[in-house]
Chains A and B, each alone.
Chain A
Amino acid sequence: MASLDDLKKRISSVKSTQKITKAMKMVAAAKLRRAQESAEKGRPYSDKMNNIILNLSNGISDFDNAPKLLSGTGVDKTHLCVVMTSDRGLCGGFNTNIIKKAKLYFQKILDEGKTLKIITVGTKGYDQLKRVYGDYIIEKISFKESKNVNYFDADKVGKIVIEKFDKKEFDVCAIFYNQFKNVITQIPQEQQIIPLKTSENGQNSSEDNYEFEPEEDEILSNLLPKNISTQIFKAMLENSASEQGSRMSAMDNATRNAGEMVDKLTIEYNRSRQAAITKELIEIISGAESL
C-alpha cells in the first residue's frame, strides 16, 4: 500500500489537474457561445447561395455543357478528401470521430481501386492520419494563427481545391467535418462538394423566370467556385462550434472524474492514517503489558 506521503502527493496532484480542467471548461463555454453565434450568423449567406444555385441549375437545359464543377468530369476515378479537424487537443472524441468517418470512406475508395488524395485542415487530423495514410496526403493546412474562423481562411482552402480541380487532379471532392447539434452531440458529416449534389431535385422546381445578366452558364461558372468556399466556410463554423462543445463536455467529465478520484483517495488516506495510529497504539499497549 502506498505510504501516507505518496497519497498526499497524489491528492494534491489530482486537485491541481481538476483546477485546470475546470478552467478549460469555462473557457470552452465562453468560446462556444461565440462560435455558435457566428455559426448562426453565417447561415443566411450559405442558404441564400444554395438557393440561387438551385434556381440557376434548374434553369440549365443541357447538362453536357454545364460547368464541370456542377456536372463533374464524367469519370469517378480520383477522390479528394478534405478532412477538417481542430488545431488543439483535449476535446474528447471530436477529432477521432471525424477521422473514423473519414477512414471508412478512404477504405471504401481504396477497395474500389480508385485513387485517393487527402488534404488535412487542422494539425490534429494530420497527426492522426499520417501514420496510415501519410502517402496520400497531398497538402496540410492549419490556421493556428487566426483566432477566429474567418471567410478568408475558408477562401484559401477553396482556392486550393479549385486550382487542383482545374488541373484535373481529381474528379470528386468530399469534405469531412463535425456538425454541431448541441453541446453533447456532434455528428461527423461527409459532404460531397464537387460535383455539386443538387439535392431534392424537382422538389424545388418553382417556375420562376429569371432574367440573367450575363448568361446563366457564365453566372454559374463564377458562382460555383464561390459556393465551394462558402461550403467550406460553413463547415469550418460548424466545426469550431462543435470543437468547443466537445471540449466543454469532455472537460466537464474530466472535472467530475477528478472530483471522484479525490474523494476516493481521501478516504484511502484517512483509512491508512487511522490504521497507522491504531498500530502505534497497539504497540504501546502491548509494550506496557509485557512489563
Chain B
Amino acid sequence: MSEEYSVEIVNPEKSFLSKNDVTEVVVPAFEGEIGILKDHISIISFLKPGIIKIFSKSGDESFYVNDGIIEFKDNNLSILTSLILNLKDIDKEKISKIQKSAEEELNKSDINDQEKYLLDQKLEVLKSIN
C-alpha cells in the first residue's frame, strides 16, 4: 500500500504548488506543529507564522508561511496562505523587510495578546532562517 497523498498550496494570486507524492507534511498549526501522514482524520486548522516541511518521494522542500488555513480531507491537503516563500530561493533582504515591519507592529501599543503572540512567533522563525 502506498503511503502517499496529495497536497496543494494556493495563495490568492495562483496555485503555488501541487504535489501528489508526499509522504508527510509538517505544518506550524496554531497550537503547535502537526505532522500529517496518510489517512489522517479530516482536520481544519489555521497556521501561525512558521515553516512548512514537505517530505515526498521527489525530494523534500521547506517553505516559510505568514499565516494560513489548512484543510485535510480524503487524503487531500489544501493549504491556503497569503504569503509563502520557498526557503531554497529566499532572499535575505525580503526577510529583513518582513522582520522589520513585524518589529514595528510589535511596538505598537494597541495590539492584543493573540496578535502579540503571533508576531513573536514570526520574529523567532524569521531570525532562525536568517
Task: Give residues in A with beta carbon < 8 Å to B.
Answer: 38, 41-42, 44-46, 48-49, 51-52, 55-56, 150-151, 154-155, 208-214, 219, 222-223, 226, 230, 233
Q: Is the CB of B13 within 8 A of A38?
A: yes
Q: Contacts A41-B13, A208-B42 given; 5 further ones with Cβ under 8 A? A: A42-B12, A214-B30, A219-B45, A219-B46, A222-B46
State A223–B68 Cα separation when bound (angstroms): 9
Min CB–CB distance A147 → chain B (angstroms): 14
Chain B residue at minimal CB-CB distance from A206: B73
Q: Is the CB of A211 within 8 A of B10?
A: no
> Can you pick out 8 interface pairs between chain A and chain B where the beta carbons lie within 8 Å of each other?
A38-B14, A45-B11, A48-B10, A52-B44, A52-B71, A211-B42, A213-B44, A233-B12
Asked whether any CB of chain A lies closer than 8 Å to the CB of B37, the reply is no
B13 partner, pick from A56, A150, A155, beta carbons under 8 A: A150
Q: Is the CB of B46 within 8 A of A48?
A: no
Per-residue interface assignment for chain B, residues 59 to 89, with 1 indicating a CB less than 8 Å from any chain A CB and 0 otherwise: 0000000000101010000101010000000
Min CB–CB distance B47 → chain A (angstroms): 10
State A259–B15 Cα separation when bound (angstroms): 44
**Which residues of chain A come closer than 8 Å to B90, judged between CB atoms?**
none
A213 partner, pick from B11, B15, B30, beta carbons under 8 A: B30
**Which residues of chain A come closer than 8 Å to B31, judged between CB atoms?**
213-214
Q: Is the CB of B13 within 8 A of A208?
A: no
Q: Which positions 18-39 of chain B face chain A at CB distance < 8 Å?
A: 29-31, 34
Task: Give residues in B with beta carbon < 8 Å to A.
Answer: 8, 10-15, 29-31, 34, 41-46, 69, 71, 73, 78, 80, 82
State A230–B10 Cα separation when bound (angstroms): 12
Chain B residue at minimal CB-CB distance from A216: B44
Q: A210-B42, A222-B46 are in contact. Are A52 and B69 (CB under 8 A)?
A: yes
State A38–B71 Cα separation when bound (angstroms): 24
Min CB–CB distance A101 → chain B (angstroms): 25
Q: Is the CB of B10 within 8 A of A213?
A: no
Q: Is the interface of A mostly helix, strand, loop or mixed?
A: helix
State A208–B41 Cα separation when bound (angstroms): 10
Q: Is the interface of B mostly helix, strand, loop or mixed?
A: strand
Min CB–CB distance A6 → chain B (angstroms): 53
Q: Is the CB of A41 within 8 A of B42?
A: no
Min CB–CB distance A75 → chain B (angstroms): 26
B41 partner, pick from A38, A46, A211, beta carbons under 8 A: A211
Nearest 10 A-B pairs (CB), nearest first?
A: A41-B14, A151-B12, A213-B45, A211-B43, A45-B10, A210-B42, A44-B10, A45-B12, A211-B41, A210-B44
Q: Is the CB of A48 within 8 A of B82?
A: no
**Which residues of chain B come closer than 8 Å to A38, judged between CB atoms?**
13-14
Min CB–CB distance A133 → chain B (angstroms): 31
Q: A48-B78, A52-B69 are in contact. Are A212 and B45 (CB under 8 A)?
A: yes
**Which residues of chain A come closer than 8 Å to B82, judged between CB atoms?**
151, 155, 226
B15 partner, pick from A41, A209, A210, A212, beta carbons under 8 A: A41
Min CB–CB distance B39 → chain A (angstroms): 13
**Which residues of chain A come closer than 8 Å to B11, judged between CB atoms?**
45, 151
Min CB–CB distance B38 → chain A (angstroms): 16
Q: Is the CB of A55 within 8 A of B44?
A: yes
State A164–B46 Cα separation when bound (angstroms): 25
Chain A residue at minimal CB-CB distance from B74: A208
Chain B residue at minimal CB-CB distance from A150: B13
State A275–B100 Cα separation when bound (angstroms): 79
Q: A41-B14, A42-B14 are in contact. Are A213 and B29 (CB under 8 A)?
A: yes
Q: Is the CB of B44 within 8 A of A56?
A: yes
Residue from A45, A55, A150, A222 whose CB has the most chain B CB atoms within 10 Å:
A45
